[in-house]
Chains A and B, each alone.
Chain A
Amino acid sequence: EVQLVESGGGLVQPGGSLRLSCAASGFTFSTYSMNWVRQAPGRGLEWVSYITSGSSAIYYADSVKGRFTISRDNAKNSLYLQMNSLRDEDTAVYYCARDPTRGYWAIDYWGQGTLVTVSS
Chain B
Amino acid sequence: EIVLTQSPGTLSLSPGERATLSCRASQSVSSSYLAWYQQKPGQAPRLLIYGASSRATGIPDRFSGSGSGTDFTLTISRLEPEDFAVYYCQQYGFSPPYTFGQGTKLEIK
- Min CB–CB distance B35 → chain A (angstroms): 4
Of the candidate stretches A12-20, A24-32, A73-81, A101-109, the one touching chain B is A101-109
Question: With contacts A47-B97, A104-B50, A105-B32 known, is A112 near B44, CB below 8 A?
Answer: yes
> Out of B33, B47, B100, which one reaches A47, CB within 8 Å?
B100
**B44 and A110: CB pair below 8 A?**
yes
A59 to B35, CA, bound (A): 19
Q: How large is the interface on B (under 10, 10 to 19, 20 to 34, 35 or more residues)?
A: 20 to 34
**B100 and A105: CB pair below 8 A?**
no
Contact partners of A1 in chain B: CB under 8 A: none
Which interface residue of B44, B51, B54 has the most chain A CB atoms within 10 A?
B44
Contact partners of A61 in chain B: CB under 8 A: 97
Known A47-B90, A61-B97, A105-B94; 14 more pairs at CB < 8 Å:
A44-B86, A45-B39, A45-B90, A47-B98, A59-B97, A60-B96, A99-B93, A104-B54, A106-B47, A106-B50, A106-B90, A107-B35, A107-B45, A112-B44
